Structure 1
Amino acid sequence: QAEAEKISFVEICVGDVRVASPDETEASVNLSSEVAASADMGAGASSDGSGSDGDAGAGDLATLDDVMARGHLGDATLEAEDEGWREESRSDATEFLSAGSETQATSQIIEEVVAEDETLADYLRMQLVDLSPEAGLREVCLALVGWIDEDGYLREDDTEICDSLDIAPALLEDALRLLRGLNPAGIFARNLRDCLGLQWQRLPDHDPAQHVLLDHLDLLARGKLDQLSEVCDLNKAELSRALRDLQSLNPRPAAEFTRASVGTQAPEILVRRDGDSWQVSLNDDALPRILVLERDWEEMAKRPMSDADRRFLASNVQSARWLARATQQRAITMLRVAQAVVDRQNAFLRDGQRALEPMVLREIADILDLHESTISRTVANKLIDTPAGIFALKDLFSAALSGAAGVDGSAAHNNGASAAGVKARIRALIDDETPDRIISDDMIVETLKGEGIGVARRTVAKYRESLNIPSSVIRRRANRIHGLIK
């Protein structure tokens, strides 16, 4: 009620949309997705199980992860398989339903200003407020809220996070332990199996013995139910129950919430070339405009009223003025941060994502003499429009490439490559491959080595999987199937 009364003297407009008071806003989401799964789609190895290129580590699990992470789960029935010599069983497709929950908007965090619908970030921060962790842990948790992707997963590895936030691994471990216990269940999972496991253990009357099913999602993706029952040591009834439990889980825990995307959100920051330099400005159409109705206040102040009423009105007007000033200060901070980022990433703006240089939050915080958590909140969920395209502002931050030596054996000779820049190069190499020349992870390692970037094969595989690109074995098989269809 107090928040609604505060807003009574403030007209808040985002574009031309009038924002409702916190008590008026609610949203519910009903998501429905379906997929038809083929038994042969996920097979990530050759007949001897080794794979011809040696980069089929993701295998069937990567295929199922890619399917379920988009809200799809095939309907696994308990009919016996037709085990022919080609083992080409197929599962029937069904709708995967997950119902969202009603939410209320919040305006507690000024960096988020006022949103029409409660965002996932709002919801997570409110839970952290209730838990009241100690200051250092709270700052790390708040920073990590901006790292999860649109599905609610934390895809970056611990080393990259620790380097970017300049924190110790033990502190990150404590933060993740706290964050993974928040709602919605499955949030901050590292992969599909982890996400389903976090949710499964919260189910009422769940049977821990059935969790072994999560270790064999590859068989489920291929519809090998008889084989699945055998390796999991579950009878038909137990497997049926486990599959029903599995189907009740949400592979995209963040999908219950409204989140702005590059396709629908207007970029807050605009970058344009100005001769040999870059001009950085804020997009007024994408920022909240706050107007304090001073004339209405002056007219109302002239009316007879009790001292208590006058103090109440004066207090609300002061709150409205504070909100307007705070929003203006937030815009100034956003512009300063954007300018510092653009100055640091000049090569990226000129040559594209491949030229993205290593840059962590701490660097910008030191340049602007601001706290690192302020930088983290400023860049979270912000878009920047550049001549190279529209990007999430946080994507311009990337840790330096580590864990591999340069071409001469020295870690210092990676040409200033960032992890994001190497990922962009890997994507470009795979995009340029032809059906008769599929590039393997080993070939990527050699190509990067020739460009002065020393990186281990396992790192290439990790980066490729983070880009949702299947192994060369699966890509080669897909090309063969595509050729037959054509």
Structure 2
Amino acid sequence: MALGPRLDLRQSQSLVMTPQLQQAIKLLALSNLELETYIAEEIEKNPLLETGDLTVEEKSNEGGESDTDTLPEPGSQGSDEILSSGPAASESALDMAGDADQFSNNSLSESDGVLDSALDGGLSLNGGLSGSSSSGAIGGEAPDFDNMLAAETTLAEYLMEQAGAILSGSDLFIARHLIDQIDECGYLQADLLEFANRLGVQLDDVQRILNQVQTFDPVGVGARDLAECLALQAQEADRYDPAMAQLIDNLDLLAKGALPQLKRICGVDDEDLMDMIAEIRAYDPKPGCKIGGGDVQVVVPDIFVAERSGKWVVEINSATLPKVLVNRTYLAELKDGAQDKASKEWLNDCLADASWLVKALDQRQRTIIKVATEIVKQQESFFHDGVAHLRPLTLKNVADKIEMHESTVSRVTSNKYLSCSRGTFELKYFFTSGIQSSTGGEAASAEAVKSHIKSLIDNEDPKKILSDDKLVTLLRGRGFDIARRTVAKYREALGLGSSVQRRRQKALAGKAA
């Protein structure tokens, strides 16, 4: 074949994700609080974006001519549908901006049937979107989560206050560095010799200051292990006699329930041993947790679910979502001042970005409501009767029902929480694997089986501890076809010990009582 230059024509197709589509996909995975931060960043970058209610002037102009009528009207496709439509549909459906106010003021009750198919089976929606003026809680005001957090003195600050009151100079210098090595539970996480060498001080001085720190409140702080922590508390209670010292030095035997061996080591009778064990149980193994501990991370629900007139109502928590608007007054002022081509192009870009963000937020709310509604529909027995009635559910089940892609459902359910009368749950909680029924009926979820295992163990007779094999038999009697190794795995996941461990614990608890 001859070598030489030539021209060829080739036709191919590829999926191109525009920046707007990438933004829409990113918004789906964000929780309400993360979305609030994202919106704040966008408002800083775009002068046409603002949060708050419409002004009287803007409301009066709502029915008038749109400032964006040179741009195409936004379509009704969501990010999932756009992804499946190919690059041409992506460009046409996403690279647009419309009347931003029409999206920020919609509520689901005013929508044109977009989610009607999700309401089958007695479910209804009554949730405001990003422009809703409601508080976001169903049947009342949303909880004030901001007031749930209060600035607290940390453990390190609390200890430094005590150190500053009685120490000074080099002693205070050593104490400050020792306190920096104490974790949030109150334990010293440092080797004293290495610590002394690093500071260039004598080991005796470090030990002396540590002894001083160990007298600080809370009692037991500065200990290097559990035994020392309990010993410090026993000394403070004037209960650290030789027998108590032997008991604390042999905590491993106490954990195993080796009471006869402990009696010989401590040289006490049954009654004294039980008194000593009861004393140790009254001590705090993590004294540092009493003070500070840092900010409490409060889980803020993204969705509220409540039963109203026999129907389940699903609503977005709009209390954590700022209302995003396009500032049309400022837009008009900038239009009047934009004379050169570059200024007009910049202004059009800002308007397109702002309008797109408002539309994307609206679509995000609709998608979340649609997914949450289907989850509530699938798990209705859980909301009525509890975790024992949780059904097996997969992302694909929900995706098929609402005609979306499985990846979209996965993004929607990530980092989002649902609040109902039974508590607050992550949306992922409702997706569980199934356990086959021993009677050939409907499979049960893994969480439901765990609930039954915990119930059986909580109600077992201390004199007849249930083995894993016995649990298998009892569960099969309740309709669960489950293997012994699966019972052991679920039991360990619940933090419940083996039958031998539970027998020792309950025997020890019975004697102490």
Place the TM-score, normalised by the shorter chain, in its bin. Answer: 0.3 to 0.5
Higher helix share: 2
TM-score (normalizing by structure 2): 0.44
Rg larger for: 2
